[in-house]
Structure formats: C-alpha cells, structure tokens
C-alpha cells in the first residue's frame, strides 16, 4: 500500500486541476537510474492494467505497477516546501539509502 | 610476425591491428537510451548512430565495476566490456531495469581493433574507440586479414599482446584489471577526462563521484613511472622509508631497456619528478595518468 499526506494530496489536486486532468489518477513508479540506482516517477494517468495495484488516498486514485510495488510498498508521499525548493518527498521504508536531493534511493 | 618493438612503434606512429575477445551487452527497447544514460558515467543522451562513448559503470559508492565503450546503433546500444566482466555486468544492469522497455543480452564477441594515429586513414566501417590514447577504431564482425592488409599499406600491421601492453604503458592509459577494478574510484585511475561527464545529470553512483571531484579528496593517483629495473605488480614504493604507493602494471621498454610502469601513489609522492624507492631500485614519477599534457611518443 502507498498513500499521500493531506498536503501532498492537496498539491496533486491543484496540479491536476491546473492541467485539466480532473478525474485522473496518479501513477507512481520506480525506474532504474539516479545517484542511488532507483528513481521515483509520478504522472497522471486514467488507465490501469489488471497487473496494477490500485489505492486511493485523500480522494486521489494511486496506480502502481507490479514491479514498482515491490520497491514502494508502505511508502508515504509528502509535499515539502523550504528555502531550498519544494517537491514531493517519498518516505519509503524499503529504501536502504537516499541520495542528497531525495529523488533516488537504493534498495 | 614482426617483433614487439616494431609493433609498438606502429601503435604509436602509424596503426596496429589486434583482435580482441570482449563481452558485448546489447541494450535495446524504447527506453534504452534514457535508461543507459542513468547507468554509466558518460553522456549518451545525445550521441548519434555510429558514435562511441567511453565510460565506466560504478557502484553506489562510486567504485568502478567496469570500463566500457557504448556503441550507438541508433535504436540500441552495444556495450563493449572486458570479457571477464560480461556476466557480472549483465546481472548488475538487469537489477536496475524495473518496468522500463529495456532488453539486455550478453554475448562474447571478437572485435578487430585498429589503434594508432593512422587508424582513421584506413576508413574502416567501425566505431571510433581510442583504446591506447592515439586514436583508434573497433570493427565488429570485421575481416582481420583485410584490415591488416589496409594497415600494412598505412605502414602498420598485426600486433600482439606484448606490443599492445607496451603501447598502453607508454601512453599512460589505465587498463581494467591491471590498473583499476572494483576497489578504485574513476578519479584515482585518471579516468575523469575520458570517461566521466559532470554535466549530464544523475546516474548510479554520481553523487559520490561529484563529491569526490568537488572536494578534491582523492588520496592516491595512478601515475606512470620509469626506472632502471621493473618492480613486479604488488611491489611497495616508499620515500624516506614511508610507504607511498604500490605497483600495478609494467614492462621493460625494449627501445631503451628501461622499465615503464603504473602505480598508485599517495599525494606526497605523485608529483612528476618525484623519486621513489622499490625493492629493485629507484623509480621516478613521469606523469599523472589522465592529466595534460599527455606523454609524448617515444
């Protein structure tokens, strides 16, 4: 299972509305690459496959493919703002380490 | 076949041809380019079909897993790696394919490699792969006899391992296995100028490589040395009784009978001109591998 904090969910809704994608879900996946080997990837999508795991968090449908869920199970996605910038932050219990910018992890 | 000294002269002054048995990892699929760019140190995001890029693959801690030439085939890449790294590198890369459209296939191949300043004049149907620091081309599935004949017309010919190794040492080119392995950072082996892009963005191990570069904390560097006698690989190098380095590879240059060798040496001893002691006598640092200007041809 993966989930969004209320702040992250609000941000997702804000972006989704701004892009005219109301009703679409958020695809969360892991791709190879990044300083620590695996990188998070987020995008809106309205189609799922029978191999996807689907969740809903604060009104946002979340879709995760069968490979990525192995790396993401238990992940909480937050949205943080600070002096160094703003962005989604992944609190991933599977990650052994995370790179400095937080966009990639090792497993 | 001619003698190694003559062959080494071809590699330095004209062109020498040698068949190399290598591992080849074919990377295909719609995501091949973007995925591969996230796995190796050099930039393949904007190469074109027919281009070749020298790179290393490093682990999470920034240590070298292998060096490689990435051959751009337009919709796919062939990665040429040392034969003994093939299985391990297929396994390593496969671990980082999650749901991307990427297929990996490893096989052993023979590459006809033409190296030396006249290699370009042979007009070979191959990839520009400079293996010995003087320019060169690798031809996949090439006709060895035909390429050797072309080299002969350019004043070169077929070369053996001894001449190849001598040319490598003279040109201060680091060699996988001999000079660097899974215990080495690219900066230590002098590979940043040829194999690492610091502007390409993220790849596996990039954070460590960049920190090492920006903080300048390399404790040892690969250097080229010369001496009257050749200390064998593993020999310790000292200065005033303090251990400063260890020998990795070397040969006696038949041109002058002197030893030319590569060794890792700590900061206190890596400046060119520094004399260090070994079990077989003094050796002098001639060049820091990877620095400019490159060693001149003998």
Q: What is the DSSP code string of chain B?
A: ---HHHHHHHHHHS-EEEEEEEEEEEEESTTHHHHHHTTSSS--SS--TT-EEEEEEE-TTS-EEEEEEEEE-SSEEEEEEEGGGHHHHHHHHHHT-SSSS-EEEEEEEEEEEEESTTGGGG--SSEE--SSSS-EEEEET--HHHHHHHHHHTT-EE--HHHHHHHHHHTT---BTTTB-TT--TTTTT-HHHH--SSS---TTHHHHHHHHHHT---EEEEEEEESS-PPTT-EEEETTEEEEEEEEEEEETTTTEEEEEEEEEGGG-STT-EEEETTEEEEEEEETT-SSPPPP-
**In B, which residues are within 8 Å of A100 by CB distance?**
207
CB distance B71 to B47 below 8 Å = no
Helix pair angle (B4-13, B161-170), 10° resolution: 50
Identify the pLDDT of residue B87.
98
Q: Does A106 touch chain B (CB under 8 A)?
A: yes
Give the C-alpha separation, B271 to A31, whole Å: 43
Domain extents in chain B:
4-170, 219-298
Nearest-CB residue to A34 (from B100, B202, B208): B202
Q: Which residue of B has its CA nearest to A97?
A: B60
Q: Does A33 touch chain B (CB under 8 A)?
A: yes
What architecture does CATH give domain B4-170?
Answer: 2-Layer Sandwich (3.30)
Hey, of A28, A33, A96, which one would you mutate to test binding to chain B, going by the most B CBs within 10 A of its CB? A33
pLDDT at A89 over 70: yes
Planar angle of CA A102, A103, A104, nearest 5 degrees? 95
A positions 80-99 inside 8 Å of B (CB): 97, 99
Give the C-alpha separation, A68 to B199, whole Å: 28
Q: Which CATH fold topology does A3-95 show?
A: Hypothetical Protein Aq_1857; Chain: A; (2.60.300)
Identify the pLDDT of residue B295.
84
Q: Does A34 touch chain B (CB under 8 A)?
A: yes
Shortest distance between the Cα of A52 and any Cα of chain B, in A, equals 12
CA-wise closest residue to A29 among A69, A2, A61: A69
CB contact under 8 A, B202 and A38: no
What architecture does CATH give domain B219-298?
Answer: Beta Barrel (2.40)
CB contact under 8 A, B98 and A37: no
pLDDT at B110 over 70: yes
Q: Which residue of A has its CA nearest to B202?
A: A34
Identify the pLDDT of residue A99.
78
- pLDDT (average), residues B235-264: 96
pLDDT at A101 over 80: no
Shortest distance between the Cα of A80 and any Cα of chain B, in A, equals 22
- pLDDT (average), residues B124-134: 96
Nearest-CB residue to A33 (from B39, B95, B207): B39
CA-wise closest residue to B253 among B159, B166, B132, B162: B166
pLDDT (tens digit per residue) in A12-54: 999 999 999 998 999 999 999 888 899 999 999 999 999 999 9
Q: Which residue of A has its CA nearest to B208?
A: A35
pLDDT at B297 over 80: no
Nearest-CB residue to A32 (from B39, B207, B208): B39
CB contact under 8 A, A32 and B96: yes
**In A, which residues are within 8 Å of B99 by CB distance?**
29-31, 65, 67-68
Q: What is the dihedral of CA A23, A24, A25, A29, to 10 degrees?
A: -170
Domain extents in chain A:
3-95
Q: Which residue of B has its CA nearest to A40?
A: B98
CB contact under 8 A, A104 and B202: yes
Identify the pLDDT of residue B1.
61
Chain-wide mean pLDDT for chain B? 96
**In A, which residues are within 8 Å of B38 by CB distance?**
31-34, 39
Instruction: Specify the residue for token string 């062109």.
Output: B15
Identify the pLDDT of residue B296.
80
Chain B residues contacting A via beta carbons under 8 Å: 34-35, 37-39, 60, 95-100, 102, 202-208
CB contact under 8 A, B205 and A100: no
Confidence of residue A73 (pLDDT cuts 50, 70, 90): very high
Task: Please list, residue by residue across B267-284, b when 16 or more beta carbons sit within 10 angstroms of its beta carbon and e when fewer do.
Answer: eebbeeebebbbeeeebe
Hey, of B35, B57, B99, which one would you mutate to test binding to chain A, going by the most A CBs within 10 A of its CB? B99
Confidence of residue A85 (pLDDT cuts 50, 70, 90): confident
Shortest distance between the Cα of A23 and any Cα of chain B, in A, equals 25
pLDDT (tens digit per residue) in B78-101: 999 999 999 999 999 999 999 899
Identify the pLDDT of residue B170.
96
pLDDT at B298 over 80: no
Q: Which residues contact B235 (CB under 8 A, 6 or more apart)?
A: B246, B247, B278, B279, B280
């Amino acid at each position: 299972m993966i989930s969004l904090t209320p702040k992250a969910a609000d941000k997702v809704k804000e972006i989704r509305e701004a892009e005219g994608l109301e009703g679409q879900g958020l695809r969360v996946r892991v791709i190879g690459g990044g300083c620590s080997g695996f990188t998070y990837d987020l995008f809106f999508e309205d189609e799922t496959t029978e191999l996807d795991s689907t969740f809903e968090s604060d009104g946002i449908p979340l879709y995760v493919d069968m490979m990525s869920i192995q790396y993401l199970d238990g992940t909480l996605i937050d949205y943080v703002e600070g002096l160094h910038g703003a962005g989604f932050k992944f609190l991933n219990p599977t990650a052994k380490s995370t790179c400095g910018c937080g966009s990639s992890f090792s497993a | 076949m001619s003698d190694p000294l003559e062959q080494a002269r071809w590699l330095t002054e004209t062109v020498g041809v040698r068949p190399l048995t290598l591992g080849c990892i074919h990377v295909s699929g719609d995501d091949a380019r973007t995925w591969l760019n996230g796995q190796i140190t050099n930039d393949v995001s904007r190469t074109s079909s027919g281009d070749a890029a020298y790179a290393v693959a490093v682990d999470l801690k920034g240590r070298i897993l292998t060096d490689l030439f990435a051959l751009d085939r337009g919709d796919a890449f062939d990665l040429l790696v040392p034969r003994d790294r093939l299985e391990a590198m297929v396994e390593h890369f496969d671990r980082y394919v999650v749901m991307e459209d990427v297929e990996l296939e490893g096989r052993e191949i023979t590459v006809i490699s033409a190296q030396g300043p006249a290699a370009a004049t042979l007009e070979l149907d191959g990839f520009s792969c400079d293996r010995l620091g003087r320019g060169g081309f690798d031809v996949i599935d090439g006709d060895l006899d035909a390429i050797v004949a072309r080299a002969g017309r350019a004043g070169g010919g077929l070369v053996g391992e001894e001449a190849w190794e001598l040319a490598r040492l003279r040109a201060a080119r680091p060699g996988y296995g001999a000079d660097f392995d899974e215990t080495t950072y690219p900066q230590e082996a002098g590979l940043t100028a040829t194999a690492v892009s610091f502007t390409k963005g993220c790849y596996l191990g990039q954070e460590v490589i960049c920190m090492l570069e920006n903080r300048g904390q390399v404790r040892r560097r690969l250097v080229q040395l010369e001496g009257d006698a050749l200390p064998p690989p593993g020999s310790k190098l000292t200065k005033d009784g303090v251990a400063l380095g260890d020998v990795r590879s070397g040969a006696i240059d038949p041109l002058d009978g002197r030893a030319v060798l590569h060794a890792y040496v700590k900061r206190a001893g890596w400046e060119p001109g520094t004399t260090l002691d070994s079990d077989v006598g003094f050796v002098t640092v001639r060049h820091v591998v990877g620095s400019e200007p490159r060693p001149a041809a003998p």
